[in-house]
Amino acid sequence: CFGILQTFPECGFYGIYDKILLFKHDTSTNNILQLVKGASDIQEGDLVEVVLSAAATFEDFQIRPHALNVHSYRAPAFCDHCGEMLFGLVRQGLKCDGCGLNYHKRCAFSIPNNCSGARKRRLSTTSLSSSQSLHLPASPPRTPSDARRFYTGRPVHLDKILMSKVKVPHTFAVHSYTRPTVCQYCKRLLRGLFRQGLQCKDCKFNCHKRCAVYIPLMRVVQSVRQTTRRSSTAIKEGWMVHYSNKDTLRKRHYWRLDCKCIILFQNNTSNKYYKEIPLSEILEVRPAGNFTLVPPGTNPHCFELITGTMCYFVGEDPNTLPSLPPTPNSGIGREVAKAWESAIRQALMPVIFQDAPPAAGNTPHRQASISISVSNSQIQENVDIGTVYQIFADEVLGSGQFGVVYGGKHRKTGRDVAVKVIDKLRFPTKQESQLRNEVAILQSLRHLGIVNLECMFETPEKVFVVMEKLHGDMLEMILSSEKGRLPERLTKFLITQILAALRHLHFKNIVHCDLKPENVLLASADPFPQVKLCDFGFARIIGEKSFRRSVVGTPAYLAPEVLLNQGYNRSLDMWSVGVIMYVSLSGTFPFNEDEDINDQIHNAAFMYPPNPWKQISGDAIDLINNLLQVKMRKRYSVDKSLSHVYLQDYQTWLDLRELETKLGGRYITHESDDSRWQMFAREHTLPYPAHLVPPPPAPASDDEEGGEDADVQGLTERVSIL
């Protein structure tokens, strides 16, 4: 116990000697396990077994109330309970004399009685060995007004009740804060205008997205037992019986259906469950037809659930005893099973049809089964999206004027997807042409830096565009960063990936025309993630020396020639890259809408104020200046930008190579640069990762010389194209 207390003093083990029992294995006695009562009972080489006592059914905590007093703060302070700022000029909040924590007055009743007394311990351990002694003034007698200023935390009996409750992990959701708030884990400010951090839906705990994984309750190792929290959005619940093609014993469980899965609980009060059937794995719901596995001497089932690996035979039709109607809690009966079959079919339907009743004589799925346009240019008639993908109605990834983007899952493979559902009735003809243009362009693109379009379903009322699901976007990364802007290393990493994707687009004479941080998606939550371009609704087919005049894009990121309704070419995307780079490094937009862009560009004091540009390298400013050129012929191209000294950085090259190694393919860097960066590392005595060193080439034979010549010729052609 002493060792544990010394190693983990912050854990506060209380009464641990009553909870843990030590037994020594002694084979010479009738009872092999002998209770260890003292240190003398154990000798070198003894086998000791640690047993948790039956008395340790709940945790004991020392209840230490806070000593709270009204306090006036000279500097901005934040509440240690809710994380919000303490507003006011004087007497803004409460300070504990024991631990020194700060609280709102309104939070006093909610504060747990867990004062650590750290402030008093620090004072008591202060060294007084120096010649100067520490004199503390005598505290004046407490007046009635002082007594009125004294606050206490929540009642002690409430703490005792809360201790006996089971501690569950937080349920975090992205939250937008209207007041300055700090992360309650790292005590740093949640920066940004909106969606600054995460807040627990239950206890209102606030934290950064990056800090969520470090919170103790989020790191609890889950038990091997199958337990789950009951969803608050259940579609249907009740008792039901079933058997399967792998186990013909009919079982009775408490079924609970929500928009994502069917959970078979052991009873209607416990969180322990027998099985979980995700709706995304259900391939078909059909009436009872296969009676070969019906247990002998029992009634037949009512309907069947078909997945990729199992077939569930659900319900029981008591046709042999029609005079005795079954009780609802028995899970038996044709009407009970029919209600469950209808509810499951409704949950499996595409989200747009869940509120509409099925037409007479039609099954719900056939309403959506009109046609499908697949990314491999194949068109199949009468294919229902509900049979291929499960769309989650409660997982809204985004929304716009004409539709909503939902999260979904491919039924056979379990792959996560994003499904854009567009209402044709609210869709103007011009917008419909943009959508078809986006689908046509994405069908022709296969690149690791461009979002992958899987397929498109179309019905008379709706259009479903299915794409790969990614983690977030670049705008969210900028707003959620600690300083409201990105560091230069990360900016170089992201901008190089954007330029690599643009190089592929421009090589195919495709101009994106709407580049902005919202359209740069992140493939993961890694600190240095892979990015992909999306939203090709405004994209145009523009040749190298061609111009277009149609109005496209988002004004804040558009080049002057588009805003002035002049002809534009592929350099339009390069202007947008310059704005994205400016926003990433500074967290602000470069231009004021009320003033002429040309005048603002030539005003360096306006474009690059000392805060924060004094901390940013001059090479970054030089690249931005070459991208934000009003004259299109002076604006940098993709290749010139990639060759700029700012992006030709050794650390950036290493970061990109690590990403390519993880993805298993090179699409940003080229093999011809390896020797150059190896030489650079040797000259500057920098470490070069061993796993990035290419293997030595095998000795070439006479037969292979022709192949090498072909490789050299292909490389020459590629360089000439670039």
DSSP string, 130-176: SSSPP-PPPPPPPPHHHHHTEE--S-HHHHHHHHTSPP----EEEE-
| 563: its two tokens | 């805003």
Q: Which residue has the tokens 């079982």?
A: 251
Q: How far is CA 669 from CA 374, 503, 720, in A?
A: 31, 12, 17
Percent with pLDDT over 90 in the chain: 25
The identity of residue 115, as a single letter, is C
166-221 maps to which CATH number? 3.30.60.20
Q: Do 590 and 560 form a contact (C-beta atoms < 8 A)? A: no
Looking at the predicted structure, is the pLDDT value of residue 378 above 70?
no
Is the omega angle on the peptide bond into residue 612 within 30 degrees of 0, that is, cis? yes
pLDDT range class, residue 420, cuts 50, 70, 90: confident
Looking at the predicted structure, is the pLDDT value of residue 425 above 80?
no
Q: Do 573 and 581 form a contact (C-beta atoms < 8 A)? A: no
* Residue 717 Rama label (left phi>0; alpha psi -120 to 50; beta): alpha
All residues at 6 or more sequence positions from 12 whose CB lies less than 8 Å from its CB, including other chains: 61, 62
pLDDT range class, residue 465, cuts 50, 70, 90: confident
Q: Do 273 and 266 form a contact (C-beta atoms < 8 A)? A: yes
**CATH 3.30.60.20 residue spans of the chain:** 69-121+147-165, 166-221
Give the phi and the psi of residue 78 in degrees, each rounded to 5.
Answer: -125, 150
CATH class of 478-648: mainly alpha
pLDDT range class, residue 402, cuts 50, 70, 90: low
Q: What is the largest distance, in Å, between two alpha-carbon atoms of the chain?
A: 103
Cα distance between residue 289 and residue 653, in whole Å: 61
DSSP 223: P
236-348 maps to which CATH number? 2.30.29.30
Q: Do 446 and 431 form a contact (C-beta atoms < 8 A)? A: no
pLDDT at 51: 77
pLDDT range class, residue 318, cuts 50, 70, 90: confident
Looking at the predicted structure, is the pLDDT value of residue 287 above 70?
yes
In SS3 terms, 517-537 reads as HHHEEECCCCCCCCEEECCCC
Residue 159 is among the residues annotated as catalytic for this protein: no
Looking at the predicted structure, is the pLDDT value of residue 705 above 70?
no
| Binding-site residue positions | 420
- Average pLDDT over all residues of the chain: 78
Looking at the predicted structure, is the pLDDT value of residue 331 above 90?
no
Average pLDDT over residues 611-625: 94
| 449: its two tokens | 């830096």
CB count, 10 Å around CB of 337?
A: 22
Tens digit of pLDDT for each residue in 63-94? Answer: 778 888 899 998 889 999 899 999 988 889 99
Q: How far is CA 251 from CA 11, 237, 263, 285, in A?
A: 44, 16, 14, 19
Whole-model pTM above 0.85? no
pLDDT at 139: 42
Tens digit of pLDDT for each residue in 650-694? Answer: 999 999 999 999 999 899 999 999 999 999 999 999 999 988 887
Looking at the predicted structure, is the pLDDT value of residue 290 above 70?
yes
pLDDT at 390: 86
Task: Answer with the residue of higher pLDDT: 313 or 592.
Answer: 313
Task: Answer with the residue of higher pLDDT: 198 or 594.
Answer: 198
**CATH 3.30.200.20 residue spans of the chain:** 366-468
pLDDT at 12: 46
The active-site residue, picked from 80, 473, 514, 655, is 514
pLDDT at 165: 61
pLDDT at 381: 62
366-468 maps to which CATH number? 3.30.200.20
**CATH 1.10.510.10 residue spans of the chain:** 478-648
| Binding-site residue positions for ATP | 420
- Which region among 19-23, 45-49, 69-73 has the lowest average model confidence (pLDDT)? 19-23
| 468: its two tokens | 């790969």
pLDDT range class, residue 115, cuts 50, 70, 90: confident
Task: Answer with the residue of higher pLDDT: 627 or 234.
Answer: 627
Q: Do 142 and 95 form a contact (C-beta atoms < 8 A)? A: no
**CATH 2.30.29.30 residue spans of the chain:** 236-348
pLDDT at 545: 53
Looking at the predicted structure, is the pLDDT value of residue 8 above 50?
no
Average pLDDT over residues 628-654: 95
Looking at the predicted structure, is the pLDDT value of residue 181 above 70?
yes
Cα distance between residue 513 and residue 554, in whole Å: 9
Looking at the predicted structure, is the pLDDT value of residue 217 above 70?
no
CATH class of 69-121+147-165: alpha beta
pLDDT range class, residue 391, cuts 50, 70, 90: confident
What is the number of alpha carbons within 13 Å of residue 265 lying toward its C-beta?
A: 18
